[in-house]
Amino acid sequence: MDPADKPQGGDGHGMAVLDIKMLGDPILRTVARQLTREQLADASTQAFIDDLVDTMHAARGAGIAAPQVGRDLSIAVVHIEDNPRYPYKPNVPLTVFVNPRITPLTRATASVYEGCLSVPGIRGRVDRFMRVRVDAWDRRGRELSFEARGLTAGTFQHEFDHLQGVLFVDRVTDPTTLSTWDNFEAHHRDAFVKEALAIQAKFGQ
């Protein structure tokens, strides 16, 4: 990890877990504001990014976007490391992305189960592009451009959607796939894990 990407410890700013806004809160339907490099570099924004990461980790999310903690800023984070909520998801290093754009690199989609920290207890199937390019800034304002594939591509599309005021439930085309978390585990998980492995074999990460 580039030392500049490390959390800003030692300045008196301790770990802070923020309150996560739930479905129905208008902030989740707000289009997030783009940041200037000056705004991004501001100490308060950098401290907020640390808090956003801490909040994602505390909630065991695969990612989180600023509107989910009540801020209409175009900032989101993804980090997947053997996540117990999504044991079939490939690992993704901690990625902070600011002012992102997402470009599909294929028309191929797959139907994947998603969940969301702002939609507690519910999962459902969403069609996601299986190859996308993400163009954004990192937390230092440096240009960031990478390709994401398979389930990882879906994760980045999910977080990008949050910055447009879109939730995964908006994209559930077949509402009969909606399931509580427990019922996903009991009735759908085994079949979906097989699908997830096939997606990774076909599209990679």
Q: Tell whether residue 77 is a contact of Zn ion (CB under 5 A).
A: no
Asked whether position 66 contacts Zn ion by CB under 5 A, the answer is no
Closest CB 120 distance from Zn ion, rounded Å: 11
* Shortest spacing between CB 23 and Zn ion, in angstroms: 10
> Tokens representing 125?
């199937």
Q: Which of 38, 81, 147, 159 is catalytic?
A: 159
Residue for token digits 């997830």?
Answer: 196
10 C-beta neighbours (distance < 10 Å), count: 6
Asked if 163 interacts with Zn ion (CB under 5 A), we say no
**Angle between helix 150-163 and helix 189-203 axes, rounded to 10 deg:** 100
Three-state SS string over 129-159 comes to: ECEEEEEEECCCCCEEEEEEEHHHHHHHHHH
The smaller minimum CB distance to Zn ion, of residues 112 and 116, is found at 116
Which of 35, 78 has the CB closer to Zn ion?
78
Q: Does 153 bind Zn ion (CB under 5 A)?
A: no
* Catalytic residue check, 185: no
Number of residues counted as binding Zn ion (CB under 5 A): 1
Q: How far is the CB of 156 from Zn ion (least distance, A)?
A: 12
- Closest distance to Zn ion from the beta carbon of 163 (Å): 11
Rounded to an integer, what distance in angstroms lies between the CA atom of residue 13 and that of residue 85? Answer: 29
Look at the chain and count its residues: 205
Residue type, 193: V
Site for Zn ion in 108-137 (CB under 5 A): 116
DSSP 44-72: HHHHHHHHHHHHHHHHT-SEEEGGGGT--
* Active site residues per annotation: 159
Residues at the interface with Zn ion (CB under 5 A): 116
